[in-house]
A and B are shown apart, each in its own frame.
Chain A
Amino acid sequence: MTDFLTALIAHSFLQTALLAGLLASVGCGVIGTFVVVKRITFMAGGIAHAVLGGMGAALYYGIDPLLGALAAAILAALIIGTVRLKWQAQEDTLIGALWAVGMAIGILFIAKTPGYATDLMSFLFGNILLVPPRELWLMAGLDGILLLTVGVFYRQFLLVTFDEEFARLRGVPVTFFYLLLLCLVAITVVLLIQVVGLILVIALLTLPAAIAGHYVHSLAGMMGVATLLGGAFTTLGLGLSYAPDLPAGPTMILLAGGIYIASALLSHFITHRQARRQATI
């Protein structure tokens, strides 16, 4: 860890990586909380994997892959969301299909683009050390959109994630807010792909919020704690992977996964003990 701190001061690419991790953790904390409480992890996984189609196409046509990823993620979110609202029985099949078709399209485009192997691996598993400094501005902009939208419509999102039927009765436009929420999930997926790649994105999107949910019992509180945890996992993952020269993304995910399991056991133990104590009163 000392080596990392010394290198961090010396190398600007490490500073950029650290900032990218911190910017990504804002999305993972705020939107990851909605994904966890609304139980749409599989949907978010579908969006994340379908993104490869957009990245591959953008790479092939010489456009910034991140913009291709953003377009594909939003398109996938709108398709999945519309099917979920209008055609509920087929929801999981369609997510699975979109998941695989998106990846297949991406792989075909990448296969026909020079530099295939390196790019594919960094898209799938991320490489935070290769984030160009100019991408930080795009990430900050995406964070700004997330925070502004959630800040303005916090209660509408809360109601739609909590009780869709009641929201509909109150005349709240459920379809609009549900699709908007999925678009925010899509933006977050793109933010996180920079850091851990599209295969591991789902872990960073859900684990910090799930750990926060063990101890915090308000949505806003969960968002705050999950953002801090996301920042801690990306920073520590980067630091721990530096000296042994391990890939940073998987190190972050293993760290988050290990702490999630420990936290789930601890929270189960605490709940069990409280229930026993109450039973004896």
Chain B
Amino acid sequence: MMTPTPAVLIENLNFSYGAARVLEQINLSIMPGEFIGLVGPNAGGKSTLLKLILGLLEPQTGRIEVLGQTPRRAARRVGYVPQFPNFARDFPISVVEVVALGCLSGSAIWSQRRAADRAAAQQALAEVEALDLATRRLGTLSGGQLQRVLLARALVSAPEMLILDEPTANIDQRVEGEIFNLLATLNQRLTIIVVSHDIAFISAYVSRVACLNRTLLDHDTAAVDDHIMSQLYGGHIRRITHRHPHHD
């Protein structure tokens, strides 16, 4: 039987910003259909690793393949939800326009598919249960609403993989659960990588946890114990086991 091509294959990856080494000897293989949680302390290199996978940064040494291609080529097949949006919140644009812009690509510069893209945007908004926001101005959205809109923008181009950087960092716990339930549904057809600071919360949703603090430790969710946690965060960590109300 043929082994499927990994969605992400990283071999011996190193990356530095100037003299500061951020990632060291990273090896990671993510198979299609996986739901991976990438956790670790602040400045541990999580966002940098995502940017390398997305082709926004080039590794100094090592190899990255995404969906069997170079990261830059594969970026169009990947949906991305950033931690800090790179736009001004008061930009004069409606929600449906933001999502429709996700349909644009470099290969269709001359195409004028405005109506088709708008219809696709409405469908993507419906999928994230945010169709009622379509005509709203971007600046009037709450944190949770904005995350749903950015998720719709990532989904509108029908990607094969979804990458989310701290998607629930600035929203309340109830909405956090709703968004992760949505991701669990999307995982039925998409490979998902999610960066999070909250290992306890995401472990209920993800199939595997990759712990990153300059180097990477890869574990099944069940295997994350006190020893791994203190190795990752570099100090004494007390783990509290608790249940979340939104798991089912």
Contact = CB atoms under 8 A, between A and B. Distances in A.
Interface of A: 37, 39, 152-153, 155-156, 158-159, 162-173, 213, 216-219, 221-222
Contact of A171 (B88, B102, B106): B106
B107 A171 contact: yes
B114 to A, nearest CB: 7
A222 B157 contact: no
A216 B92 contact: yes
Contacts of A39: 88
B106 A172 contact: yes
Nearest to A164: B86
B91 interface: yes
Interface string B147-162: 0000001000100000
A169 B92 contact: no
B137 interface: yes
Contact of B92 (A163, A171, A173, A213): A213
Given A158-B101, A169-B80, A163 B85 contact: yes
Interface of B: 54-56, 75-76, 78, 80, 82, 85-88, 91-94, 97-98, 101-102, 104-107, 109-110, 114, 137, 153, 157
A162 B106 contact: no
A222 B92 contact: yes
Contact of A170 (B76, B110, B114): B76
A219 B54 contact: no
B92 A170 contact: no
Given A37-B91, A219-B93, 7 more contacts: A152-B110, A155-B104, A162-B98, A163-B86, A163-B87, A166-B101, A216-B92
B56 A169 contact: yes
A218 B157 contact: no
Residue among B55, B75, B78, B91 with the most chain A CB within 10 A?
Answer: B91
9 A-B pairs with the lowest CB-CB distances in the bound complex, closest first: A171-B106, A163-B87, A165-B86, A217-B92, A159-B101, A169-B75, A217-B137, A171-B105, A171-B76
A218 B93 contact: yes
B87 A159 contact: no
